Amino acid sequence: MRTFESLKKFLIISFAGVFFLCGGFLCAEVAKENAVVAQENIQCSCGKFAFAECVSDIFERSKNSVIRVIGIVGAQEEGEQDSEAAQQMQPVLSGTGFFVSDRAHVVTAASIVSSARVLWVEYRGLSYAAECVGHDPATNIAVIRLLQPPESFEVVDIHDTDEHSLARIGEFAVFIGCRLDLDPAPALGNIVGKNISYGERAFVTTYLRSDIEICGGESGAPVFDLRGNLIGCMVAALPELHSSFILPKRALRRVYDDIIKLGKVTYGAMGIDIHAEYKMGIGQQIIISRVVHDSYAEKSGLQAGDVLVSMNSFTIKHREDLHNALFFAHPGSDMRIVIVRNGEPYEFTMKVDQSVAKK
């Protein structure tokens, strides 16, 4: 009996030793692999692995595209002249902007521009008069144009993207802003979330949330990844979370193109109500609850109870997918919609309606 118990203990100890030995070997291999991946992930455009050198390199290459935007707000009194002395007595808003075209178009925050009656920018120590091309309250984006631009300036590319390009959570972000009356300066942070809403505020598309805390003068600033590519534009501060919201480049491009063509941004609508249901083995589904009478959705053949599968290039699994599909669909265009009805797939083509003004 004692011999059997001794053998049993011996076998248990032996198996435990083998298990921990193999486990330690596997952990070491996983750690080694993760270190390689991490090293690849932090490699930046300058080919170096030091964050400080990456940030410095991106700043040096991008600083000549960043400007300070200044606007005088308030009604002009009768007979008042916009002299330099008079301007100094008026309420002033300031933010950051960046050149996005060779025609001296600048992207900045609508909150700085929309109520300004006098607008100018400061670039490399000089002031330049500007005018507002258009602004969009829904995304807090404005486009302005310098009336007599400097002889040379750098342009940030906002068009090398598509509808599905979005920075990843955990990705490093380099922000360049004009805080208060200081020169443009960089800050390093992370992308920490993706949001379609915040509190009771619903967004028109997915926003990126960063852990970069911004203050006066920094709204409208560009945000880059460690390769120097634009991630998006800083549009809102979250002081209670020491964070901020970034409008992604894919959305910025869509807003910019509309403003240049139309002077404003138009948004699409479908004429349906939806609800979400969870189905075992399938997951969440987005189902049409109601189709508005005489809407394009009704005319296309959509019905209550239809399960939305895809809209153009967007797969529909969550409400957020529907919001993004509509954001990138221009009013008057045709949208390809795939649904499931009574277990069978169907495809429809629906003309996109124009939504009411978003604020």
Residue 280 pLDDT: 87
Distance in angstroms (rounded) separating the CA atoms of residues 310 and 255? 23
CATH 2.30.42.10, the chain: domain bounds: 268-354
**Which 8-state DSSP code applies to residue 330?**
P
Residue 13 pLDDT: 46
What is the CATH topology of the domain spanning 45-76+85-265? Thrombin, subunit H (2.40.10)
Distance in angstroms (rounded) separating the CA atoms of residues 137 and 152? 31
For residue 217, report the phi and psi dihedrals to the nearest 5 degrees: 90, -5
Architecture of the CATH domain 268-354: Roll (2.30)
Distance in angstroms (rounded) separating the CA atoms of residues 151 and 145? 14
Residue 73 pLDDT: 87
Residue 130 pLDDT: 97
Distance in angstroms (rounded) separating the CA atoms of residues 133 and 284? 42
C-alpha atoms less than 13 angstroms from C-alpha of 208 in its C-beta half-sphere: 32
Q: Are 222 and 252 in contact (CB under 8 A)?
A: no
User: Considering the entire predicted model, what is its pTM?
Assistant: 0.82
CATH 2.40.10.120, the chain: domain bounds: 45-76+85-265
Report CA 113 to chain centroid distance, whole Å.
20
Distance in angstroms (rounded) separating the CA atoms of residues 335 and 348? 8
pLDDT in tens, the chain (359 residues): 455 455 445 444 444 444 444 444 444 443 444 444 344 444 555 555 566 788 899 999 999 999 999 999 876 555 555 555 555 557 899 999 999 999 999 999 999 999 899 999 999 999 999 999 999 999 999 999 999 999 999 999 998 878 888 999 999 999 999 998 899 999 999 999 999 999 989 999 999 999 999 988 999 999 999 999 999 999 999 999 999 999 999 999 999 999 999 999 999 999 999 999 998 888 999 999 999 999 999 999 999 999 999 999 999 999 999 999 999 999 999 999 999 999 999 999 999 999 875 54
Q: Are 66 and 150 in contact (CB under 8 A)?
A: no
